[in-house]
A and B are shown apart, each in its own frame.
Chain A
Amino acid sequence: MKRRDFIQKTAAGSALVLGGLSLSSFAEPPAKKITILHTNDVHSHIDPFPVSDPKYPNMGGAARRATLIESIRRENPNVLLLDAGDIFQGTPYFNYYGGELEFKLMSMMKYDLATLGNHDFDNGLQGFLAQLPHASFEFVNANYDFKNTILDGMIKPYKTFIKDGIKIGIFGLGIELKGLVDPTNYKETVYNDPLKVAQDMAKTLRHTEKCDLVICLSHLGFMYNNEPTKVNDLMLARNTKDIDLIIGGHTHTFLNKPYIEKNIDGKEVLVNQVGCYGLNLGQIDFYFEPGKMSSKGRIISV
């Protein structure tokens, strides 16, 4: 559109409005709402725990999770459903079907994106690749270099979504595989420093892709009391910028509400993790309004 036409059309629009001006037409467009739903470390838990289970009696279950997701979707049109890894391993469903059912059910629930956890390598790179056709959603990871493996080109570093005009960028980070996963299962996969990669990713998503919301799907772990120097989600939040939300996994940490950490610039970063085994579904709603970044404070009610 030429600039002159553009102004004219805008002016015409203004004129039309002037004709039937009412108080309500001055109201700002309603705030937009993006709902992030997330799971982590579901570990092939498809059936609910038995009623007799000493720890999680009658909790979890994929069919119940699907009901909850559906009811949230009915109220909220702009949902992104994410998983932070370790989809595989933990019940005979995985031993018998290698992850096929996990991926198929997640596809039926309309998961949008996931990242890889260490246990997703348990049947080797070949085992993961064989199940990928059963997933209608994609996987992201930015710090594993799969160049010399059969997963080359299958895993993107990040993916962007546009929901109601809001652009959301999501990248993935994975834990160091050495010492955690049998080398025959990850082969030539190269692990790169998550902090450095995260900073590059966040910059790309915020400034090149111009995302309104930058999310990291991490399988690094929330924190390690016995190994304070081991890279974790809180360290990631503190040492980077441009990330709004880190959805974590690996440590099976049950957070009742997201942890709020300050990044390098002193801006809040939310870090969340909802335990394991599909016992919980995390939900974070981001509201967007037109206006300057710095004109008003941000309300975080968690």
Chain B
Amino acid sequence: MINLKKYTTYVQRFVLFLTITSLISCSSTGLRNTKIEAKKNAITGDLTEEQKIEDFIAPYRTHINKDLDNILAYAPETFDKSKGKWQTNIGNLLADATFERADKIFYTREGKHINVCLLNHGGIRAIIPKGNVTTKTAYDIMPFENSTVVIALKGEQLKEMADYIAMERKPHPLSGMLITLDANGLVKNVTVQGKPLDLTQTYYVATSDYLSGGGDRMNFFLNNTGSYSLDYKLRNLFIDYFKETDTLPVSTTQRIITQ
């Protein structure tokens, strides 16, 4: 009986409000928003894990971890981007690996060879610790989804590239090019594949689509005469390179020489 009373009261009032508010409010119900409260709930370790969700994730996690823990190669020493002023062992490794694998694909597709590979120092996101190299290593050093591209540049833009590297004073991963700097740190000489740079010749540069789009202010890539997407994620390139390499080579070849 009590419930019935409440119900009928409610209905009556509901009708009344509809009549009043239909004239002044667009609302369908004649209700108005009188108060708003807000808060940010942090997801922390204090919350217990919902078991149903946890159980659902478990097989996916197990499979990924098993796969990520696959041993692909061996690192005879730690590869670290913070060790070296103009080149680092990890920078040399990644630039040489990218050059080698991108060149194979590019030659098959276009019948041309790559001349230079340039990546960015900032793009190396972790070290490769001495010991086993796993799939997870590839995710650690390259968490981004960037793809490998080949950019056609005139020698003039390659000179700009050398100037950029000299100005940046960073050991950007470089392969196929040798830059000699003078005592003031300015570009004195550039050779590509051992030959002096020809300002009018077209060169093919392997890089990531992030950099070819002007990322890290590498604007010389924007003045290109051609762009070829290899549809090949850099991480997958590294994974494939690790798979076919037993022990990672430690390259100490200088790419930037100071006088």
The chain A residues found within 8 Å of chain B, CB to CB, are 10, 13-14, 16-17, 20, 25, 28-29, 31-32, 46-48, 58-68, 70, 72, 89-90, 92-93, 95-97, 101, 104-105, 108-109, 122, 165-167, 179, 182, 184, 206-207, 210-213, 244, 255-258, 270, 272, 274, 278-296, 298-302
Contacts and interface: CB of A to CB of B under 8 A. Distances in A.
Nearest to A105: B53
Given A47-B57, A166-B31, A287-B36, 5 more contacts: A108-B52, A284-B38, A289-B31, A298-B35, A301-B37
A294 B27 contact: no
A67 B48 contact: yes
B25 A67 contact: no
A25 B43 contact: no
A63 B38 contact: no
Contact of B145 (A16, A89, A165): A89
A282 B44 CA distance: 14
B36 A302 contact: yes
Interface of B: 1, 4-6, 8-15, 17, 20-21, 24-45, 47-54, 56-57, 60-61, 63-64, 67-68, 139, 143, 145, 147, 209, 213, 229
A16 B8 contact: yes
Contacts of A274: 40
Contact of B8 (A17, A109, A182): A17
A166 B143 CA distance: 44
A280 B47 CA distance: 12
Given A25-B6, A101-B57, A301 B36 contact: yes
A298 B24 contact: no
27 contacts: A16-B5, A25-B5, A59-B45, A61-B49, A64-B45, A90-B143, A93-B64, A96-B67, A165-B29, A256-B40, A257-B39, A258-B38, A280-B42, A280-B43, A281-B43, A282-B38, A283-B39, A284-B37, A285-B37, A289-B34, A290-B17, A290-B21, A291-B30, A292-B20, A293-B24, A295-B32, A302-B39
A244 B33 contact: yes
A282 B4 CA distance: 38
Contacts of B63: 96
B60 A17 contact: no
Nearest to A258: B38
B46 to A, nearest CB: 9
A226 to B, nearest CB: 13
B11 A10 contact: yes
B17 A257 contact: no
A93 B60 contact: yes
A14 B57 contact: no
Contacts of B13: 28-29, 290
B50 A64 contact: yes
Given A272-B38, A287-B36, A301-B36, A68 B43 contact: yes
Given A16-B8, A46-B57, A67-B47, A282 B40 contact: yes
Contact of B43 (A65, A122, A295): A65
A210 B25 CA distance: 9
Contacts of B8: 13-14, 16-17
A13 B14 CA distance: 12
A213 B45 CA distance: 34
Contacts of A14: 8, 12
Nearest to B27: A212
Nearest to B39: A283
B60 A97 contact: yes
Given A10-B12, A58-B45, A286 B53 contact: no
Given A108-B53, A274-B40, A64 B48 contact: yes
A98 B47 CA distance: 28
B41 A255 contact: no
Given A70-B50, A101-B60, A32 B20 contact: no
Contacts of B47: 64-65, 67-68
B41 A280 contact: yes
Nearest to A300: B36
Contacts of A179: 213
B37 A61 contact: no
A287 B35 CA distance: 5
A283 B28 CA distance: 25
Contact of A298 (B14, B36, B39, B64): B36
A294 B145 CA distance: 52
Given A61-B49, A281-B43, A298 B12 contact: no
B60 to A, nearest CB: 5
Nearest to A51: B45
A32 B12 CA distance: 17
B29 A166 contact: yes
